[in-house]
Amino acid sequence: MKRPADKGLLVVLEGVDGAGKSTQIRGLAERLATAGMPHVISREPTDGPHGRRLRESATRGRLPPAEELETFLADRRQHVAELILPSLADGKVVVLDRYYFSTAAYQGARGFDWEDILRRNEAFAPEPDVVFWLELPPTVSQERIGIRGEAVNDFERLDALRAVADIYAQLAGRYSFFHRLDARRTAEELLEEMWQSIQSRRAFCGVN
Ligand code: TYD
């Protein structure tokens, strides 16, 4: 969904588990707070009822494919209506840990037509100003998840991760707002690059 170009800023972080999204989001939150920029940080799956169900399914056993896809969409519809659109209308910087590109990549990897997933999402979800795609080779992602001591959940098996990475690469070719970052660079370097990119956009988006 296109939205007024002069209000708020919608920033999305995407990538496989282990790419460092959570660390980067914490860094961005600190910088936004220090700069006094009104902002909100959120994530998908959300902490709402649909999101909780999806999170539990990662360890307890995944929902049947069609039900899983519909639950991600229901979770996002609520997120867009209750948090994303109102925050943008207030002129805030909205930073999201995952958005509809995750549905295209992960449910696409599960066998759905990812272009159709994009069309369904774009009917109601505002298009972001920038997506930072933290790219990590699937084998490195698995090693990192292992080092963190987390059991590799069913969303993150190697063959599935490869399919996910492949769809992310196609998304990067399709959208000019996709900004690819090599997730193996240091956390400080990555944060600095994202911050510069946000700074250069804020003047165009009515964010002070
Ligand atoms: P994740 O961000 O890894 O949550 P956590 O806070 O538990 O680390 O998201 C959980 C999983 O959900 C992740 O492996 C990717 C998957 N996912 C999808 O399959 N489709 C989606 O649309 C989204 C948003 C996430």
C-alpha distances (whole Å) from 29 to each of 10, 36, 80, 163 are: 14, 11, 20, 31
The pLDDT tens digits for 168-208 are 999 999 999 999 999 999 999 999 999 999 999 876 566 66
Give the per-residue pLDDT at 146: 75
Return the closest-CA partner of residue 107 out of 149, 33, 158, 160.
160
Is 51 touching ligand 1 by the criterion CB < 6 Å? no
pTM of the model: 0.93
Query: Which pLDDT value is given to residue 147?
Result: 64
Length of the chain: 208
Q: Is the shortest distance between the CB of 68 and ligand 1 below 6 Å?
A: no
Fold for 9-205, please state it.
Rossmann fold (3.40.50)
Q: Residue 145 above 90 pLDDT?
A: no
- Greater model confidence, 208 or 27: 27
> Average pLDDT of 109-118?
97
Q: Following DSSP, what letter does each residue of 115-170 receive, concatenated?
A: HHHHHHHHTTSPPPSEEEEEE--HHHHHHHHHHTT----GGG-HHHHHHHHHHHHH
153 against 159, higher pLDDT: 159
Q: Kindly give the distance from the C-alpha atom of residue 6 to the centroid of ligand 1, in angstroms, as a whole number.
A: 30
Q: Tell me how far apart the alpha carbons of residues 102 and 109 are, in angstroms, rounded to a whole number.
A: 10
Distance 51 CA to ligand 1 centre (A): 9
Write down the pLDDT at residue 148. 67
Give the lowest-confidence range in 62-66, 157-161, 178-182.
157-161
Where do the domains of the chain lie?
9-205
Given a cut of 70, is residue 60 above it in pLDDT?
Answer: yes
Cα–Cα distance list, 121 to 75, 88, 131, 150 (Å): 12, 18, 15, 30
